[in-house]
Amino acid sequence: MNKALIVSSSEEIASMIEQFLRADGVSLITVVSSGSEARRFMRTDPEISLAVINTPLSDEFGQELSLMIAEEYQTGVILICGNDISGDIAEYVCESGIYVVSRPVSRILFSEAADLAAASHGGFAELKKESSDILIKTEEIRIISRAKATLMKYLKFTEPQAHRYIEKQAMNSRQTRRETALRILADYGVR
């Protein structure tokens, strides 16, 4: 965890959270006092690994802000709220990987939540990348399969012959198999 954002209307709580984060080794900390400031800041510096939101904020409660940060930026989020509503808030935001801590905030509980939130931040980012890679690979396989089917239909190739043809054409033209498959589909007018 190297960069943190604190969003709090209370300077006292913001100062306490900042002390907790510095004790945990975080040196790059930005403090803002409203949801709108936090949104502007996240657009300019989306590489925040942890956002700590102390509710309520001056311009909104803060749970929608926490959801936006967690989902759009894959940032670990801790939402601090009153003890009387922490259970309800936790149910609302838990599926987004947001950690809810109730006031008064204990140093030990906060550190554990910060570690978990930062770890989940890394995990979410890695899962998103893996998911994207899988989707790209799946699309490539689908295109190549369609090109093989096209060759089998129009040139009466067997599946191994079509596979070998695509690989050989890709190698000879210094293209990827996907590019070669797309060219074959275009040549035969297949969409």
Assign residue 158 the CATH number of its domain.
1.10.10.10
Q: How far apart are CA 82 and CA 171, in angstroms?
A: 63
Are the C-beta atoms of 80 and 53 separated by less than 8 Å? Answer: yes
Taking only the tens place, the pLDDT of each residue in 54-72 is 999 999 999 999 999 988 8
Q: Which residue has the higher pLDDT, 98 or 74?
A: 98
Mean pLDDT value across residues 129-152: 88
User: Residues 71, 30: one domain?
Assistant: yes
Q: How far apart are CA 82 and CA 24, in angstroms?
A: 24
Strand ranges for the chain from DSSP E: 3-8, 28-32, 50-54, 76-81, 98-102
- List 81's β-bridge partners, or say none: 102
CATH number of 45's domain? 3.40.50.2300
Among 110, 127, 144, which residue terminates a domain?
127
C-alpha count within 13 angstroms, C-beta hemisphere, residue 162: 19
What is the span of the domain harbouring residue 179?
A: 134-187
User: Residues 29, 104: one domain?
Assistant: yes
